[in-house]
């Protein structure tokens, strides 16, 4: 190795590997980053960007899930951070997607949170440093310096709770900049909440940081921004670095192609149907949904009878908000009609009565009764909503569970969906993720709905189980003629079973294309209106 500061990169990651319980999420990641260099990092959700940053930052979740393989070198020396605080003290700063600010504090107080300059006094001499009083003048001075360094003016005396959302983002950046030894700043989708003007200001401040010798890793879905500010672009897909080129030598379409990748027709649905002449079974007009992190704005959509419609898009763009809003799990407004009958929003029971079913993405929270048997899990909603599996006595005054019917139907689904279990009396908690997901589907199937929402049905399950789940959905659609709307962040799996795919971006429908369309077309739609 050649010695000397000019040739030693600031950061080098060598052969980084990470798996979550056998599920490989990062494979052989190698890259270097020089002083003052701006690196753009892009990739679809689940490509491994966040995991990589978590490893670099020493987040607890990495250690709790068995650590990682490979080496991280900071200024030529191997480092291994066991907590984010150690990474911070080594000069690595990170601005997270979620705000990490105290709402009732001013910008100044937040910028210097837990690093406040202090004055000693008599009491603190006796009882220790924590009773030092804060030096407010010094605090203001330091906050001012950090804001100047950033190059975007925010009101340092304003409470965070009263700030526009963009200014909160800048407060976080100023906090990182106020750390004197900052060498590397990671920005995780910082422009997602900014207006165009603010985003431009942020790009300028990234440029000025870079001039001051601070290296920046810039994660964003807005590819134009990456091209305008970065020196180098790394594209990740499925845990691999698929491209690492200087920003000058690439363009938006090349990056988006690399992001969604894969040879184009290998996995697409072989039997895409054109159902545009079928009657509209559900019509959504001007729907808004207030689901935190998945806001939906002004969505209008027609769903044809008997089709499988996919809803795709990047995380946080609102695709999950659509089914959750319609099913009444989050505050929503607008008009939804099923077969011409209007469905009242904000009332889950009415939706179920209208023969709508929903397989939630939150299977442990909403989807399953974890401590009950599979029988109960499968039959419970049908029993509650439709009075199925009940024997009536005394003209319906007394209702008894029909244990036999419950047992039969559960056994049928266990064999149909190949649910791996010891029997229909096993507790749902004891099943693996993939099998739990199958139970969720069985539960929805048992309702025999006219219309089914399935949200992220394959999240966190292995490839074999994925195929089974997708096939089961397809079979259900074909055999019972049920209209299915499937929401997924994995474009490829949508393309495998859907007829049409709607892409949600910035809370709105960016476009609807037949599933046979090339994946780069979908890639362009995904980033078209990113907010």
Q: Is 86 in the site for another protein (CB under 8 A)?
A: no
Q: For the chain, count helices (H), then strands (E).
A: 18, 24
Q: Is 196 in the site for another protein (CB under 8 A)?
A: no
Total chain residues near another protein (CB under 8 A):
32
Q: What is the DSSP letter of 131?
A: G
Shortest reach from residue 322's CB to another protein, in Å? 14
Q: Is 109 in the site for another protein (CB under 8 A)?
A: yes
Judged by CB under 8 A, the stretch of 35-43, 133-141, 215-223, 239-247 that binds another protein is 133-141
Among 157, 213, 246, 333, binds another protein (CB under 8 A): 333
Shorter beta-carbon distance to another protein: residue 67 or 333: 333
Among 32, 45, 97, 132, binds another protein (CB under 8 A): 132
Of 208, 163, 206, 166, nearest in space to 186 by CA: 206
Q: Is 332 in the site for another protein (CB under 8 A)?
A: yes
Q: Is 295 in the site for another protein (CB under 8 A)?
A: yes
Judged by CB under 8 A, the stretch of 105-113, 148-156, 221-229, 275-283 that binds another protein is 105-113
CA distance 343 to 327: 9
Q: What is the DSSP letter of 427?
A: B
Shorter beta-carbon distance to another protein: residue 123 or 398: 123
Phi–psi pair at 278, nearest 5 degrees: -65, 160
CA distance 309 to 502: 7
Q: Is 286 in the site for another protein (CB under 8 A)?
A: yes
Shortest reach from residue 115's CB to another protein, in Å? 8
Among 23, 24, 80, 133, binds another protein (CB under 8 A): 133
Shorter beta-carbon distance to another protein: residue 300 or 384: 300
Among 71, 162, 290, 430, binds another protein (CB under 8 A): 290
Shorter beta-carbon distance to another protein: residue 188 or 375: 188
Angle, helices 165-177 vs 136-150, to 10°: value is 100
Shortest reach from residue 347's CB to another protein, in Å? 15
Output Rg (C-alpha) for the chain, integer angstroms: 26
197, 164 contact by CB (below 8 A): no
Q: Is 105 in the site for another protein (CB under 8 A)?
A: yes
Residue 159's DSSP bridge partners are 106
Shortest reach from residue 179's CB to another protein, in Å? 11
Of 16, 92, 82, nearest in space to 52 by CA: 16
Cα dist. 86→34, 383, 510 in Å? 21, 54, 42
Among 14, 17, 63, 118, binds another protein (CB under 8 A): 118
Give me the torsion for CA of 94, 95, 96, 102, rounded to 10°.
110
Among 95, 101, 379, 491, binds another protein (CB under 8 A): 101
345, 334 contact by CB (below 8 A): yes
Shortest reach from residue 238's CB to another protein, in Å? 30
476, 482 contact by CB (below 8 A): yes
Three-state secondary structure of 158-171: CEHHHCCHHHHHHH
Judged by CB under 8 A, the stretch of 178-186, 248-256, 293-301, 349-357 that binds another protein is 293-301
Q: How many CB atoms are closer than 10 A to CB 402? A: 17
Q: What is the DSSP letter of 494?
A: H
Residues near another protein, by CB under 8 A: 84-85, 88, 100-105, 109, 113-114, 116, 118, 124, 129-134, 136, 286, 288-290, 295, 297-298, 331-333
């Amino acid at each position: 190795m050649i010695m000397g500061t000019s040739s030693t990169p600031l950061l080098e990651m060598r052969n980084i590997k990470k798996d979550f319980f056998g599920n490989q999420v990062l494979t052989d990641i190698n890259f270097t980053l020089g002083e003052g260099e701006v690196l753009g990092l892009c990739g679809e959700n689940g490509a491994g960007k966040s995991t990589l940053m978590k490893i670099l930052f020493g987040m607890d979740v990495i250690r709790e899930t068995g650590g990682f393989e490979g080496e991280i070198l900071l200024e030529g020396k191997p480092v291994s951070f066991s907590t984010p605080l150690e990474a911070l003290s080594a000069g690595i700063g990170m601005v997270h997607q979620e705000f990490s600010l105290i709402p009732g504090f001013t910008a100044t107080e937040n910028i210097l949170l837990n690093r406040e300059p202090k004055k000693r006094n008599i009491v603190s001499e006796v009882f220790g440093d924590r009773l030092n009083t804060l030096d407010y003048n010094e605090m203001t001075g330091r906050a001012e310096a950090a804001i100047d360094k950033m190059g975007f003016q925010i009101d340092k005396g304003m409470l965070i709770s009263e700030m526009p959302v963009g200014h909160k983002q800048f407060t976080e950046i100023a906090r990182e900049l106020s750390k004197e030894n900052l060498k590397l700043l990671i920005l995780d989708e910082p422009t997602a909440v900014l207006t165009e003007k603010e985003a431009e200001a942020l790009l300028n401040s990234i440029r000025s940081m870079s001039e001051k010798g601070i290296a920046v890793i810039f994660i964003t879905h807005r590819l134009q921004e990456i091209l305008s500010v970065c020196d180098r672009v790394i594209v990740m897909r499925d845990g691999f670095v698929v491209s690492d080129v200087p920003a000058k030598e690439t363009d938006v379409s090349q990056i988006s192609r690399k992001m969604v990748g894969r040879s184009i027709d290998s996995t697409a649905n072989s039997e895409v149907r054109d159902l545009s002449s079928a009657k509209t079974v559900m019509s959504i007009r001007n729907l808004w949904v207030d689901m935190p992190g998945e806001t939906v704005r002004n969505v209008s959509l027609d769903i044809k009878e008997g089709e499988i419609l996919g809803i795709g898009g990047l995380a946080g763009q609102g695709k999950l908000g659509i089914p959750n809003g319609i099913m009444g799990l989050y505050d929503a407004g607008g008009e939804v009609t099923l077969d011409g009958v209007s469905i009242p929003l904000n009332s889950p029971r009415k939706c179920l009565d209208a023969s709508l079913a929903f397989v939630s993405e939150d299977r442990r929270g909403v989807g399953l009764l974890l401590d009950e048997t599979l029988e109960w899990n499968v039959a419970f909603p049908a029993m509650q909503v439709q009075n199925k599996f009940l024997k009536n006595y005394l003209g319906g005054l007394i209702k008894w569970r029909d244990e036999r019917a419950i047992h039969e139907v559960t056994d049928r689904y266990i064999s149909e969906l190949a649910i791996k279990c010891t029997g229909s009396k096993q507790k749902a908690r004891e099943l693996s993720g993939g099998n739990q997901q199958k139970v969720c589907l069985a539960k929805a199937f048992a309702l025999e709905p006219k219309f089914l929402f399935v949200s992220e049905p394959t999240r966190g399950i292995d490839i074999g189980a994925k195929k089974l789940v997708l096939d089961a959905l397809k079979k259900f659609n074909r055999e019972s003629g049920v209209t299915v709307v499937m929401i997924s962040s994995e474009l490829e799996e949508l393309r495998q079973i859907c007829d049409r795919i709607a892409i949600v971006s910035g809370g709105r429908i960016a476009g609807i294309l037949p599933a046979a369309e090339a994946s780069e077309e979908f890639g362009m739609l995904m980033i078209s209106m990113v907010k």
